[in-house]
Amino acid sequence: MRIMLKKNYQSQPLARNEQHQRAEHPLKRIMAIEQQKDSVLVTTTDIHLARGIGEALRHAYQGELDLQYNADEHLLRVHWSR
């Protein structure tokens, strides 16, 4: 599951959301956070964690949230930008 964040975000909602999910569901994790040219790519182990992080960012910073779910691959791509 991948989350693409455009610039102008702060990492507190990511960490807070992952800590909450880790307490409730120990296998939900952020696997990697990759800085890219004008975005950040976050890879998670679970589609629900990815969706929760995207929704937390939209709630904290407004902006646009796009969720693309692929049922065949059990994959969710979350794009947030502001």
pLDDT at site 66: 95
Indicate whether this model's pTM tops 0.75. Answer: no
Residue predicted with more confidence, 9 or 78: 78
First to last CA, the chain: 21
pLDDT band per the 50, 70, 90 thresholds, residue 6: low
Residues 6+ apart with CB under 8 A from 53: 3, 13, 14, 17, 18, 42, 44, 78
The order of strands in the sheet holding 30-35 is 30-35, 39-44, 2-6, 75-81, 64-70
Is 5 in contact with 82 (CB distance < 8 Å)? no
Token pair of 11 as six digits: 């990492």
